[in-house]
Amino acid sequence: MKSVLPVLTVVAVILGIWLLAVIPMNMHLVADQAQRDGAMVQPDTPVARQEYSGLGLALRNPDLIPLTYQFQRPRLPSPQQVAGEMYDTIIGQNITSRRSLVYHGWVTLAPTLLGFVIGTGLGILLAVGIVYSRVMDRSVMPWAIVSQTIPILALAPMVIVVLGSMGVQGLFPKSLIAAYLSFFPVVVGMVKGLRSPSAMQLDLLRTYHASGGQGFWALRLPASAPYLFASFKIGISASLVGTIVAELPTGARAGFGARMLVGDQYGQPLVSWAALFAAALTAAALVGIFSALERVTLRRMGMAAA
């Protein structure tokens, strides 16, 4: 709980910058609209106004400043507009409605979770292979690294389109992209964790004439727990990003990614911003859940200090 104050401070600073930025960002649009509505604006032609910065224009027309916070199609929406849109679409709508962000959130969350499970399972299996097999260590690890250098934005539409042409649609293709992003941190963390026991601890098992399997279950696996949780937290957020990216270029009609794209394409920035914040809150909640699981598990394992 010690982190509450610092976090709130950072949030306050960001909000402050945001609130200030709204004025110059929207000033030209507001001035144009105000003039159309018959108000007196300085200077009085759009071309002349282009000579001024947003801030300069605001100083010359201070009475227009309040309007920048409630403009209908702003360049930068104000925090209260985004909050209002989120309130309206999260609480104000039936959750089965297409206008509901909860509905879109679930459309994104389901493949995120499935992809995370696939990616984590694959990551753990690969890590075990890499630690126990020299051949896999040499062959798989470089490819795992290379796989993460391919821009996911380029790869996602190909995967979706190819799978779509094969008749695979809906949840699974998105999960695949999510899994593609989330397996890597799990491989890296798990390999490090499985290799964390010291030579002395491995020697000790040797003096007991322990089998490889016994060494894995008794020593390597529990030793990797702290590393695994760190990987989970990175993996689950990567998984969410992967799903959203998979929703962007494919004409998906639902999900956070689709909402961001729709907002952009139809000039409804509030829709994009609300989806963006909802996605960020979802990621924070997922990471928070894994942090709590980590604390509980490590405490039960007697490694609370870790």
| Whole-number Å distance between alpha carbons of 15 and 280 | 16
Residues contacting another protein: total by CB under 8 A: 22
Q: Report which DSSP code applies to 133.
A: -
* Residue 214 touching another protein (CB under 8 A): yes
Q: Considering beta carbons, is residue 12 or 218 the nearer one to another protein?
A: 218
8 A C-beta contact, residue 73 and residue 33: no
Contact status, residue 102 vs residue 166, Cβ threshold 8 Å = no
* Rounded-to-integer distance, Cα 181 and Cα 172, Å: 14
Helix (H, G, I), strand (E, B) or coil at 40: coil
Among 14, 145, 204, 284, interactor with another protein by CB under 8 A: 204
Identify which of 218, 248, 245, 237 has the alpha carbon closest to the alpha carbon of residue 289: 237
> Does position 195 bind another protein by CB under 8 A?
no
Residue 62: DSSP 8-state: G
Say whether residue 208 binds another protein (CB under 8 A).
yes
Q: Give the three-class secondary structure for 49.
A: helix
In 3D, which of 59, 60, 58 has the Cα closest to residue 69? Answer: 58
209 counts as binding another protein under rule CB under 8 A: yes
In the complex, the smallest distance separating the C-beta of residue 222 from another protein, rounded to whole angstroms, is 5
Nearer to another protein, 225 or 262 (CB): 225
Q: If binding is defined by CB under 8 A, does position 296 make contact with another protein?
A: no
Contact 239, 119 (CB under 8 A): yes
Question: Counting contacts by CB under 8 A, is residue 295 touching another protein?
Answer: no
CB nearer another protein, residue 162 or residue 204: 204
Q: Would the CA dihedral through 270, 275, 279, 281 be positive or negative? A: positive
For another protein, the closer of residues 132 and 208 by Cβ is: 208
Among 59, 210, 230, 254, contact with another protein (rule: CB under 8 A): 210
Q: Least Å distance between CB 199 and another protein? A: 10
Nearer to another protein, 10 or 306 (CB): 306
- Using CB under 8 A, pick the residue from 219, 241, 260, 261 that binds another protein: 219
Binding residues for another protein, per CB under 8 A? 198, 200-201, 203-210, 214, 218-219, 222-223, 225, 301-303, 305-306
